Amino acid sequence: MPLTILPDTQHQEDDFSLDPRVVQALWTMEENHFWHQARNRWIVSHLRDRAVPSGSRILEVGCGSGWVAGHLQRCGYRVTGIDTALVLVQKAAHRFPDVQFVAGQLENLAVVDPGPFDVIAFFDVLEHLDSPLGLLKTAVGFARPGALVAATVPAIASLFSVVDTLSGHKRRYDSGELLALLQAAKLHSVQERGIFRWLLPLMRRRRSSEPPSGMLMGGEESAMRLAKELAVPPPLLNSVMALLCRLEQTVGKAAAARNVGASLVASGFVE
């Protein structure tokens, strides 16, 4: 499908740096890092647990370079992805030509695709916003009655560090906060699960050695630091971590509803 570029396309640099080094590191990470592969599996598993059938229409808000959208399309869903960062959406369209991608503001999506959609999705997007409730309410306007709204976010406020600041995060969500946000958007039957639980000890140890989140770096140093953070682990370590993620998703999946993890996944239904 051709990429649609709306005339209102704007991107706030503090949402996510578009420095070429950061963008290239992100693309390499998406294609090789254990975390991105595992998150895609968690997302599909969650949709299936919520009885979203193959063939359902999904609107992914903040689709970035399309890594999740492409995976969902391969899994049998029909996906439309929208983002304000043109360079990222162009990469998405190049990677996954069968997916409909739009560069522009969500408010103007109707000129391209008014919906309605069966699923509205925000995968690691809401943490970039000072007031995510407004975007949630706007997106629900594209949903059919009974549609599912699903989101993932980084978790545990105490883990917020300079890496979050450089990534454009405004916050990390403690257990129950994403659930409360979806409920504030008037969704019902909301469920929240903690995922990547085994990563927590590693993250706590690493974040404790980082500078405080308020210590901002210069532009050059910031780009280099963020590109380094996005680097893929060495092959053996990456493989071991991928295996641990698979074990959590099979053996430990039931515990996700009762425990906090390094990320949260939650969803609720539109009236």
How far apart are alpha carbons 199 and 144 in whole angstroms? 36
pLDDT (tens digit per residue) in 82-92: 999 999 999 99
Q: Which position has the higher pLDDT, 206 or 156?
A: 156
Mean pLDDT score of the chain, rounded to an integer?
A: 91
Asked if residues 197 and 259 have their Cβ atoms less than 8 Å apart, the reply is yes
Predicted confidence at residue 222, as pLDDT, reads 78
pTM, two decimal places = 0.93
Asked if residues 149 and 270 have their Cβ atoms less than 8 Å apart, the reply is yes
pLDDT (tens digit per residue) in 180-217: 999 999 999 999 999 999 899 988 887 766 665 555 55
pLDDT (tens digit per residue) in 91-103: 999 999 999 999 9
Predicted confidence at residue 258, as pLDDT, reads 64
Confidence of residue 69 (pLDDT cuts 50, 70, 90): very high
The percent of residues above 90 in pLDDT, for the chain, comes to: 74
pLDDT (tens digit per residue) in 96-145: 999 999 999 999 999 999 999 999 999 999 999 999 999 999 999 999 99
Predicted confidence at residue 94, as pLDDT, reads 97
Residue 14 has pLDDT above 70, yes or no: no
Question: Strand 143-154's sheet: what is its strand order?
Answer: 4-5, 100-103, 78-83, 57-61, 117-123, 143-154, 263-269, 188-195
Predicted confidence at residue 64, as pLDDT, reads 95
> DSSP class of residue 18?
-
Predicted confidence at residue 213, as pLDDT, reads 52
Predicted confidence at residue 163, as pLDDT, reads 86
Predicted confidence at residue 251, as pLDDT, reads 80
Mean pLDDT of 27-35: 96
Predicted confidence at residue 33, as pLDDT, reads 97
Question: Please, is 210 exposed, middle or buried when counting C-beta atoms within 10 Å of its C-beta (0-12, 13-18, 19+)?
Answer: middle
